[in-house]
DNA sequence: AATTTACTCAAGCAGTCGCTTCAGTACATT
DNA sequence: AATGTACTGAAGCGACTGCTTGAGTAAATT
């Protein structure tokens, strides 16, 4: 039940029935018996991963309030990923599966839209307090960009490099980048460009 | 020769020989005749996409110099992607293929490391001029984060939303985020113990 | 002891995969 | 007209896919 996320993350469509059964030492019939089909097994694994990630994300954002700094928001936003990168193993496989779903969403993934929306709303709430001058639409966009960046880190080779670091080291490098993406760096509307952080 | 990138982007490992031939109205034998194998065809398509993207990226960065602002750097860095998103079609398929390669690199992709390194070096050169206070190692990290974010935009569903906008509209939303990721947003000085998770 | 329940196992099904084969065709060259 | 070159078409090969089947097994329940 657990070791198959390791396969779901190596490619949603690239995982075969016998890959899984060989890895866990089971028989192909066991999958049909327990899940009905390979597709149902994958959906079950994806649902498990999504729930686990969203619960963690919502909890992290729940620790924040309107007095939280932008760095704290970025840290909370990125913490599920940084923790998974540092932990590796099944925790990282869960994050990779979630990231894959963001690229190749399965058919019936709308079941979890509720939790997903709540996670996004929580992030938006703490961001608007820090960046009152930015449109809500743009904050949503930045949130999605930041989430995409984190998902990319989980999937791309750079993620395996980060996996060798501690969670503090990852956060030290990553959080300023996430916070910077949230904050933005305005385009020179007219005249001289100035450092907006002063 | 062109319409097959559309398939390579729908999943490197999920593309089948008959998918391609049915789409272009050709026969399976034509692939073996022209490329030798499906793998060779995919490698050829990937190589084509990578070269096309890297040439464009290097050219964009080449327009910059040490007097360019951070927004200009971000704009040049993101322009191949914003342009592809606005253009759609084959140009977007090329970017999606490149992004897929970043996640699931094919076996012999080291051939193009030279151009890839040059692109990264060019980006680093114009970034150090804008951010002299940041370590080079961290600038490399931020460059990879920003590139990952752009790749994500190409692959994820948000990319199809962006594809409905003009290149100026995309840039208006995207460039501040990329520039913000480059610039970073510093963490609060250590010792304040603001983080509730420690 | 008998029965039910939960599950595993090897075998095999139809379908698809990448790839090859070889006869057939269009066209340029001689 | 004959020949060579470049390419296409349909058919089929072995390997693999997801999935099913039916016999077999171990433990719990009766």
pLDDT bin (cut points 50, 70, 90) of residue A66 is: confident
**For residues B133 and B62, is the Cβ–Cβ distance under 8 A?**
no
**For residues A128 and A136, is the Cβ–Cβ distance under 8 A?**
yes
B96-142: per-residue pLDDT in tens? 999 998 998 887 777 888 899 999 999 999 999 999 989 999 999 99
pTM of the model: 0.90
**CA→C1' distance for B28 and C23 (Å):** 16
Query: Would you say the C-beta of B17 is within 7 Å of strand C?
Result: yes
**For residues A196 and A185, is the Cβ–Cβ distance under 8 A?**
yes
Secondary structure (3-state) at B21: helix
Secondary structure (3-state) at A108: coil
Most confident of A21-30, A138-147, B18-27, B94-103: A138-147
Report the percent of chain A where pLDDT is more than 90: 50
- Residue ranges, chain B, pLDDT below 50: 191-198
What pLDDT does residue B198 have? 34
Inter-helix orientation angle A38-62/A113-130, to 10°: 30
* Measured torsion, CA atoms of residues B48, B155, A39, A159, in degrees rounded to the nearest 10: 90
Choice among A22-31, A32-41, A97-106, B154-163 with the minimum mean pLDDT: A22-31
Measured CA to CA in angstroms, residue B147 lies from A49, A148, B52, B77, B142 at distances of: 26, 11, 16, 8, 8
**CA→C1' distance for A8 and C25 (Å):** 47
**For residues B93 and B9, is the Cβ–Cβ distance under 8 A?**
yes
Query: Would you say the C-beta of A23 is within 7 Å of strand D?
Result: no
Q: Which of B107, B1, B102 is nearest to B54 (CA)?
A: B102
Pairwise CB contact (< 8 Å): A71 & B187: yes
Q: How far apart are CA B13 and CA A27, in angstroms?
A: 25
């Amino acid at each position: 039940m657990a070791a198959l996320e390791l396969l779901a993350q190596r490619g949603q469509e690239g995982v075969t029935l016998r890959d899984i059964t060989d890895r866990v030492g089971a028989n192909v019939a066991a999958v049909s018996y327990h899940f009905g089909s390979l597709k149902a097994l994958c959906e079950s694994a994806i649902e498990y991963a999504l729930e686990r990630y969203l619960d963690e994300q919502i909890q992290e954002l729940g620790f924040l309030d309107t007095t939280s700094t932008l760095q704290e928001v970025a840290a909370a936003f990125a913490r599920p990923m940084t923790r998974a990168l540092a932990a590796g193993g099944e925790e990282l496989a869960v994050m990779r599966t979630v990231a894959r779903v963001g690229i190749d969403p399965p058919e019936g993934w709308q079941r979890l839209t509720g939790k997903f929306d709540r996670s996004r709303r929580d992030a938006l709430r703490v961001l608007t307090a820090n960046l009152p001058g930015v449109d809500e639409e743009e904050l949503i966009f930045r949130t999605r960009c930041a989430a995409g960046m984190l998902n990319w880190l989980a999937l791309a080779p750079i993620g395996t490099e980060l996996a060798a670091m501690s969670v503090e080291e990852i956060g030290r490098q990553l959080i300023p980048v996430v916070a910077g993406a949230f904050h933005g760096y305005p385009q020179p509307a007219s005249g001289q460009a100035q450092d907006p952080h002063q």
